Amino acid sequence: MSMNAVKYLEDHHDKLLEKLNAFLAIPSVSTDSVHNQDIIKAAEFLESYLEDIGFTNVSQMDTGGHPLVYAEYNEAGADAPTVLVYGHYDVQPVDPIAEWKSEPFKPEIRDGRLYARGASDDKGQVFMHLAVFEAFMKTEGKLPVNVKVCIEGEEEIGSENLYKMLHNKRENFAADFAVISDSGMVDHNQPTILYGLKGFTGLEVTVDGPDHDVHSGLYGGAVRNPLMALSHILASLKNEEEVVTVDGFYDGVEPMTDQERDLIKNVPGEDYESALGITETVSEKGYTAKEHTMGRPTLEINGMYGGYQGEGTKTIIPSSATAKITCRLVPGQDPERIQQLLEDHIQAVAPAGVRVHVKKENLSAKAYKVEPDHPLIQKAAESYTEAFGKETVFVRMGGSIPVVEWIEAIYHIPIVLMGFGTPDDRLHSPNESFPLDSFTQGMTTLAHYWTKVGQK
Amino acid sequence: MSMNAVKYLEDHHDKLLEKLNAFLAIPSVSTDSVHNQDIIKAAEFLESYLEDIGFTNVSQMDTGGHPLVYAEYNEAGADAPTVLVYGHYDVQPVDPIAEWKSEPFKPEIRDGRLYARGASDDKGQVFMHLAVFEAFMKTEGKLPVNVKVCIEGEEEIGSENLYKMLHNKRENFAADFAVISDSGMVDHNQPTILYGLKGFTGLEVTVDGPDHDVHSGLYGGAVRNPLMALSHILASLKNEEEVVTVDGFYDGVEPMTDQERDLIKNVPGEDYESALGITETVSEKGYTAKEHTMGRPTLEINGMYGGYQGEGTKTIIPSSATAKITCRLVPGQDPERIQQLLEDHIQAVAPAGVRVHVKKENLSAKAYKVEPDHPLIQKAAESYTEAFGKETVFVRMGGSIPVVEWIEAIYHIPIVLMGFGTPDDRLHSPNESFPLDSFTQGMTTLAHYWTKVGQK
């Protein structure tokens, strides 16, 4: 059954790519309200595509923030399972814009890759699902499974309203299992099943000193410098061995087993040095870089600013300094507890003479882990292997998808993470791209999967 | 003789203020090339004013950078001394512009103060000198002293070309002593002679990590975070007791004597807490805030940036982080040596996995100190006391005026620092202002001084 759909996808490759490009051309950046109209345009694109395919109850659900695109397909029969397909149509900001080789919202193919913001994360992968559904409808007249589609517009700002929607609209989103394509494979054309994701929490620290920038000659020696105070605070969070030095941070973290270390060792590794242009990797004392990124918690400063940033010198003590901090968490760590530990630590080490404010970011998620031998996972692995012609590997990864935790917490259903991105996709960075291989083989994988899970 | 000039200044107060406002309205910001034409306009204003007064050899000297305005007056007679009057017509940038209550280049009087960028530092004080010269010429037909005027346009960017000019044009600038009004009094209407200034040096540190901003979930745990590395580096420069922890930083610094501590104790102090809106002062262990600002070296971070600074959260590890650092130095510290010590320290503590670049700022000055009982200093003190009706105090201050060091090094002449600013002037900050009291009494002080030093 899936072969007709696969042939349709091959025959219509160029037309589908053209349609994807129109979707990627919409600058649906959710973090900046200047793009609110573009967000609506992207949602309308999906609504219209889902209606054309033959979905019912297609709507832009009012979330209180950016709309959630919802749709249903109920014609697979009472025997067929119902799958919840989640994705997101919003994208990260594009700055620093000067570093893009082609415009972020004018998709361009270079060397077998499609370059555009959202090509991989996640508009490209959302589009693949719809194209596969189109292929089944056009060739078989029906889908092998019943489907509920949930495509949100706030993933890059923490899915603030999604939890409420999943919680309050249980009748809409209830399903037998969920499939999410918002992740990657460990290497180009290397089929990969993600069986674990990290959790997430974040906060912003502001250090206020004098009520205006003051002359460093006249007041240097009498005033605590907010940038120096913030540097001391930040330096106290993690040592040079990449160990987080916040009391209690590692409490409850499951030790990494030898079995898991072997598994990680066998995952084809990325050459971080050449991919990222760094002199050497650094990782938590006692763990390799792969072990740390996949299975150990992290703490990062994502941004920091204060004082004069222009050309030349300005001899001031700035009135204020700010840092944005996020943590990636593993099973055993509670995001709210970690947030509180960080706040307590920061206030405890805050020096005299400045006021330190901690703003807890309203977005956090617990880590997620599923058993790799679950039948729905095994069928996914088989589908990958058939489509890509290569054994599927099973990994945990450092990314966080809050929706995974929420679906599990609310619906208690298995969640299958079928991502097709690659390590070179430059998610969240300039020159984001997605391999055309992943586009075609990924759709083939999905076509096989729906057929396999639709069969009794 | 000075009474006629003083009366002229009183009679023409409003007209002179109007003329000063026209000068302050020119946005002669030297740190940003966008204002290059405004710099020329400010130089032309001075040129034309000096010609109107009756100065000769008035010119905009080509420095290779912003022009230096030069003029001479040689009619006081061979018996009269020749004074070099130095000032600067360039000003600091205005950011953060939103914090200004009136526009920085539309001078406005509120509560006895003239608000404008440059009102105090240094266009207002330069203007006072010219107005006093005008008053002598209009009332006496001559000045009591021979004068060489040197008003540069690069003070706020480190007077990069001034040293070369002073060195190469000795015949132009040679004088018996120098007077500089680019400083302040310790309190409103409190006559103050500065007998010491701090030296200065600076550098910029850039920490480069991955060659693009990378996803903190996918790469956190494998990559050194440039912002965290920079925080560790900066935190290692100064401890929480405000002691600079760079090896050798305090080598050669003269210990503060009990006599000097008494002198500092007797200087009417500023209420730092209420003036700056801080919870408490902090100063080097073992020294009061006044002692530290006036007589001990300092190290400050003037600006810092890296990663995401926008609204919300962006989960990246930034590719780079930068900090701007300056030090204020005291007698016994060599700026180049301190710069080198800082660079060596920074490179020594730089962690693995990042590249650390130190850019030495091409601006530095040695500290300066003169004996308070020199006759030229004593006459200045008398002039202040007569004009303000109050005893003059003698202080050292934390500001740096590189030209002071250079004039001493090249010409070996006494330098008299006659400043009229006040601690509330908000130099380099939003809402810079200058008290109208200082404007009138300051001009009276200068009129008395020229008369005193012109008399045999």
Mean pLDDT of chain B: 94
B232 shares contact with chain A (CB less than 8 Å): yes
Least confident of B31-40, B396-405, B436-445: B396-405
Is the pLDDT score of B336 beyond 70?
yes
In this predicted structure, the answer to whether residue A422 has a pLDDT above a threshold of 90 is yes
Mean pLDDT of A329-337: 94
Question: What confidence score (pLDDT) does residue A362 get?
Answer: 78
pLDDT of amino acid A1: 58
Same domain? For B115 and B79 the reply is yes
Cα dihedral sign, B50-B55-B57-B62 = negative
Q: Which residue of B has its CA nearest to A400?
A: B217
Q: Residue A251 above 70 pLDDT?
A: yes
Tell me the C-alpha distance between B382 and A156, whole Å. 68
The answer to whether ipTM exceeds 0.90 is no
The SS3 call for residue B84 is strand
Q: How far is B208 from chain A (nearest CA, A)?
A: 9
Q: How confident is the model over B372-396, as pLDDT tens digits?
A: 788 999 999 999 999 999 989 888 8
| pLDDT for res A409 | 86
How many other CB atoms sit within 10 Å of the CB of residue A310?
12
**Where do the H-state alpha helices sit in B95-215?**
123-140, 162-168, 170-173
My answer on whether A163 and A250 are in the same domain is no
Domain C-terminal end among A314, A339, A360: A360
- Classify residue B218: in a domain, yes or no: yes
Q: Which of A330, A360, A390 is the last residue of a domain?
A: A360
Contact B173, B281 (CB under 8 A): no
- Clarify whether residues B193 and B206 are in a common domain: no
Quickly tell me which residue has 């991919």 as its tokens: A275
Among candidate residues B313, B336, B360, the one where a domain is terminated: B360
Which DSSP category does B254 fall into? Answer: P
| A272 within a domain of the structure (yes/no) | no
> Is residue A193 a part of any domain in this protein?
yes
A269 inside domain:
no
Beta bridge partners of B192: B393
Among A315, A316, A368, A396, pick the best mutation site for testing chain B contact (most B Cβ within 10 A).
A315
Task: Write the CATH number for B448.
Answer: 3.40.630.10
| A438 shares a domain with A379 | yes
Tell me if the bond preceding A435 is cis, omega within 30° of 0. Answer: no
Tell me what pLDDT residue A456 has.
Answer: 60
Mean pLDDT calculated for residue range A127-141: 97
List the domain range (segments joined by +) for residue A120. 2-197+367-454
Question: Domain check: are B35 and B82 in the same one?
Answer: yes
Distance (Å) from the C-alpha of residue B200 to the closest C-alpha of chain A?
9
Phi/psi at A205 (5° precision):
-110, 130
A positions 10-49 inside 8 Å of B (CB): 31-32
* pLDDT cut 70: percent of chain B above it: 99
pTM: 0.74
- List CB contacts (< 8 A) between A211 and chain B: 276-278
Say how far apart CA A98 and CA B141 lie, in whole Å.
Answer: 62
**Lowest-pLDDT range, A131-140, A429-438, B186-195, B226-235?**
B186-195
Torsions phi, psi of B406, nearest 5?
-70, -45
Same domain, B183 and B286: no
pLDDT at position B41 is: 98
Q: Do A315 and B326 touch (CB under 8 A)?
A: yes
Note the pLDDT of residue A259.
Answer: 75
Query: What pLDDT digit, counting tens, does each position of A155-209 carry?
Result: 999 888 999 999 999 999 999 999 999 989 988 999 998 888 899 899 999 999 9
Domain shared by B83 and B224, yes or no: no
Check whether residue B70 and residue B178 sit in a common domain. yes
d(CA A1, CA B61): 86
Minimal C-alpha gap between A205 and chain B (Å)? 12
Residue B273 counted as domain residue: no
pLDDT surpasses 70 at B1:
no
B215 and B192, same domain (yes or no): no
Domain annotation covers residue B79: yes
Q: What pLDDT shows up at residue B456?
A: 60
| Residues 6+ positions from B201 with CB-CB distance below 8 Å | B326, B327, B329, B335, B336, B338, B339, B342, B361, B363, B364, B365
Stretch A410-428: mean pLDDT: 93
Q: What is the tally of structural domains in chain B?
A: 2
**Strand, coil or helix: what is A408?**
helix
Lowest mean pLDDT among A387-401, B171-185, B330-344, B415-429: A387-401
Which is more confident, B369 or B241? B241
| Domain CATH number, residue B340 | 3.30.70.360
Residues A123 and A50 in one domain: yes
| Angle formed at CA B381 by CA B376 and CA B386, multiple of 5 degrees | 125
| pLDDT tens column, A2-51 | 789 999 999 999 999 999 999 999 999 999 899 999 999 999 999 999 99
Whether residue B278 is predicted with pLDDT greater than 90 in this model: the reply is: yes
Does the residue B120 lie in any domain?
yes
Q: Are strands A316-317 and A214-215 parallel, antiparallel or unpaired?
A: antiparallel
Which tens digit of pLDDT belongs to each residue from A390-413?
Answer: 989 888 888 777 788 889 889 999
pLDDT at B369 over 90: no
By the 10 Å C-beta count (0-12 exposed, 13-18 middle, 19+ buried), B362 is classed as exposed
The reply to whether A190 falls in a domain is yes
Beta bridge partners of A71: A149
- Pair B136, B186 in one domain: yes
Same domain, B185 and B244: no
Q: Rounded CA gap, B275 and A24, in Å?
A: 53
